[in-house]
A and B are shown apart, each in its own frame.
Chain A
Amino acid sequence: MNMALNALRRLGNATLKTLVHLGFICRFFFAVLRHSPAAFFRFPLTMREIYFAGVLSLVIILVSGLFIGMVLALQGYDILSTYGASESLGVLVALAMLRELGPVVAALLFAGRAGSAITAEIGLMKTTEQLLAMEMMAVDPLARVAAPRFWGGVISMPLLAALFSTAAIFGAYLIAVQLIGMDNGAFWGNMQAAVDVRTDVMNSMVKSLVFGVIVTLTAVFEGFDTKPTAEGVSSATTRTVVHASLAILAADFIMTIFMFRGV
Chain B
Amino acid sequence: MSATVTSSQDLVASLTNVRFGYTPEQSVLDNITMRFPRGKVVAIMGGSGCGKTTILRLLGGEVHPNTGQVTVNDQSVPDLNKRALYAMRRKLGYLSQFGALFTDMSVYENVAFPLCEHTDLSESMIRDLVLMKLNAVGLRGAASLRTNELSGGMARRVALARAVALDPLLMLYDEPFTGLDPIALGVVGQLIRRLNDALRISSVLVTHDIYQSLKIVDYVYFVGQGRIIAEGTPDEIRNTSDPFVRQFINGEEDGPVPLHMKAPSLTQDFLARSAS
- Residues of chain A having any CB pair with chain B under 8 Å: 121, 124-125, 128-130, 132-140, 144
Chain A residues lying within 8 Å of B104, measured Cβ to Cβ, are 121
In whole Å, how far is A25's beta carbon from the nearest beta carbon of chain B? 21
Q: A73 to B276: give the CA distance in the assembly, Å.
A: 65
Contact between A137 and B100 (Cβ–Cβ < 8 Å)?
no
Chain B residues lying within 8 Å of A133, measured Cβ to Cβ, are 94, 96, 100, 102
Residue B246 at the chain A interface, CB threshold 8 Å: no
SS of A interface (majority) = helix
- Residues of chain B having any CB pair with chain A under 8 Å: 60, 62, 86-87, 89-90, 92, 94, 96-98, 100-104, 113-114, 117-118
Contact between A130 and B103 (Cβ–Cβ < 8 Å)?
yes
Q: Name the 6 nearest CB pairs between A and B, nearest first.
A: A133-B100, A138-B89, A136-B94, A129-B100, A138-B86, A138-B90
Chain B residues lying within 8 Å of A121, measured Cβ to Cβ, are 104
Q: A221 to B103: give the CA distance in the assembly, Å.
A: 20
Contact between B96 and A137 (Cβ–Cβ < 8 Å)?
no
B114 CB contact (under 8 Å) in A132, A135, A137, A140: A137
B86 CB contact (under 8 Å) in A128, A130, A140, A144: A140
Contact between A128 and B60 (Cβ–Cβ < 8 Å)?
no
A137 CB contact (under 8 Å) in B62, B98, B113: B113
Q: A129 to B60: give the CA distance in the assembly, Å.
A: 14
**21 A-B contacts, Cβ less than 8 Å apart?**
A121-B104, A125-B103, A128-B103, A129-B98, A129-B100, A130-B102, A130-B103, A132-B100, A133-B94, A133-B96, A135-B89, A136-B60, A137-B89, A137-B94, A137-B113, A138-B86, A138-B90, A138-B92, A139-B113, A139-B117, A139-B118
Q: Nearest CB to that of B104 among chain A residues?
A: A121
In whole Å, how far is B167's beta carbon from the nearest beta carbon of chain A? 13
Q: A144 to B102: give the CA distance in the assembly, Å.
A: 12
Contact between A137 and B117 (Cβ–Cβ < 8 Å)?
yes
Q: A136 to B86: give the CA distance in the assembly, Å.
A: 8
In whole Å, how far is B175's beta carbon from the nearest beta carbon of chain A? 13
Q: A144 to B114: give the CA distance in the assembly, Å.
A: 12
Contact between A124 and B89 (Cβ–Cβ < 8 Å)?
no
Chain B residues lying within 8 Å of A144, measured Cβ to Cβ, are 117
Scoring B60, B94, B100, B114 by chain A CB atoms within 10 A of each residue's CB, the highest score goes to B100
Contact between B100 and A138 (Cβ–Cβ < 8 Å)?
no
Interface contacts beyond A121-B104, A128-B103, A138-B86: sample of 4 additional A-B pairs, CB < 8 Å, sorted by A: A136-B94, A137-B117, A138-B87, A139-B117
Q: A133 to B98: give the CA distance in the assembly, Å.
A: 10
Contact between B100 and A128 (Cβ–Cβ < 8 Å)?
yes
Contact between B62 and A135 (Cβ–Cβ < 8 Å)?
yes
In whole Å, how far is A99's beta carbon from the nearest beta carbon of chain B? 38
Chain B residues lying within 8 Å of A134, measured Cβ to Cβ, are 102
Chain A residues lying within 8 Å of B86, measured Cβ to Cβ, are 138, 140
Chain A residues lying within 8 Å of B60, measured Cβ to Cβ, are 136
Chain A residues lying within 8 Å of B101, measured Cβ to Cβ, are 130
In whole Å, how far is A146's beta carbon from the nearest beta carbon of chain B? 14
Chain B residues lying within 8 Å of A125, measured Cβ to Cβ, are 102-103
Q: Nearest CB to that of A121 among chain B residues?
A: B104
In whole Å, how far is B197's beta carbon from the nearest beta carbon of chain A? 23
With contact pairs A138-B87, A138-B89, A140-B86 given, residues A132 and B117 touching in the complex (Cβ less than 8 Å): no
In whole Å, how far is A93's beta carbon from the nearest beta carbon of chain B? 40
Contact between B89 and A129 (Cβ–Cβ < 8 Å)?
no
Q: Nearest CB to that of B56 among chain A residues?
A: A136
Q: A199 to B63: give the CA distance in the assembly, Å.
A: 53
